[in-house]
Amino acid sequence: MKERKVNYLPDVLEAIKNVVKAFIEDEPKSPLHIGEAMSFWVFLALCGETQVQTEAGINSTTDPELRKALHEAVEMFKSQKERTTTFMRLEGIPLPPLSESKPNSNPSRVPLGVKLTDNELANSLKKKYRWRLQTVQVPQPKPFVSMLV
């Protein structure tokens, strides 16, 4: 009569796997803490408002490089808004009121006293989006002293 080798290792690994799986799957999902819900609400509101402000910037400039950077920023905000909105709806968090997107307009028809300059728009990109976008290089104006000479 031959002795049969019994391999117990797969049974032990299977048992450990089942125990871990039971802890992970059976654990009830805890609701979001009020601070977490508020953070998502504020983040979505800021993304929405900054998107609208950036769209207004697109309507104020004719510089192609700056327009491209502003369009990239708008797409980034749209993506973040979509992801955050989906998550908030799944969690049952009410959505904040958001402004409507700005329609496209001709930058040359915006009065000079109303629209932002290209330098102002580029600086706002540097401040707000430095961590996500490449900095837009806008030629600096000549110093005042060199204009007098």
Give me the domains of the chain, ranges plus CATH numbers. Answer: 32-138 (1.20.1260.10)
Residue 28: CB partners within 8 Å, gap ≥ 6? none
DSSP 115: S
pTM here is 0.62
CA nearest to 122, candidates 67, 49, 46: 67
- Res. 134 pLDDT band, cuts 50 70 90: very low
In the predicted model, is pLDDT for residue 139 greater than 80?
Answer: no
Q: Judge whether 65 and 136 are in contact, CB under 8 Å.
A: yes
The pLDDT score that the predictor gives to residue 2 is 60
For residues 52 and 148, the model is more confident at 52
Residue predicted with more confidence, 106 or 136: 106
